[in-house]
Amino acid sequence: MNTPRHPLRDLLAVPCLILTTVLGACATNTPTHVMRDPQAQFESFKTFAWDSGQETSQVAGEPLSIVNSQIRGAISGELQQKGYAEAIAGAKPDLLLRYETAAAEKIKSNPFRIGIGMGGYGSNGAAGVGVSSSDVKNVKEGMLVLRVIDPARNAEVWNGRVSRELGKDGVPDPELIKSAVGELLKDFPASGSAPK
């Protein structure tokens, strides 16, 4: 049995497709920014260590904070999955790691939204439209910048930056740190890999 097409269904199909495409394009994540030295010989790098000369806001001799320990642990874990090993104390590493963190208040807005729905059974059809107003609020966003240095050349060979919205209290939880570091190092060259 051939059911006749309802004109309302055809009329709403094109605007629904356009609206879905536009709203999908507006929903973007904070990008990760990465730079890589094309002269870096990643195929020769096997070990890494933390740059002991790194300037931090910590007072000399003060213990590493919990958040800094979590950041270092996440970075070390990702690099070890890529075949790198942390250099033994006193040994000369192939790479030195230096990172910086920052937090800032940002304004987050949820855009004005429109939803369109339609349906039908047989020759009966229906359509609905939903509208929501925009919302603006202040959120705390954290940023992590990782610099990877080749000590033999005294040159930065890789640099990456990632930003994330922090939790309600403005302190990142371990899963947020792990997720951000994983995204940051997603395309970091594996140990022994030839340059692309």
Q: What is the CATH number of the domain that holds 163?
A: 3.30.160.670
Per-residue pLDDT tens over the stretch 11-37? 444 443 333 333 333 434 567 899 999
Provide the residue range defining the domain that includes 34: 30-108+137-184
The answer to whether the CB of 149 falls within 8 A of the CB of 155 is yes
Residue 43 DSSP one-character state: G
Residue 87 is assigned to a structural domain of this protein: yes
Do 126 and 4 contact (CB within 8 A), yes or no? no
Q: Is residue 7 part of a domain?
A: no
Report how far residue 6's alpha carbon sits from residue 4's, in angstroms, rounded to the nearest whole number: 6
How many domains, the chain?
1
Distance (Å) of CA 106 to CA 77, 101, 103, 165 = 30, 16, 9, 9
Q: Write the pLDDT tens digit of every residue in 74-106.
A: 999 999 999 999 999 889 999 999 999 988 877
Q: Is the pTM of this model over 0.85?
A: no
Asked if the structure places residue 69 within a domain, the reply is: yes
Confidence class for position 121, pLDDT limits 50, 70, 90? confident
Within a domain: 15: no
Three-state secondary structure call for residue 100: strand
81 domain-assigned: yes
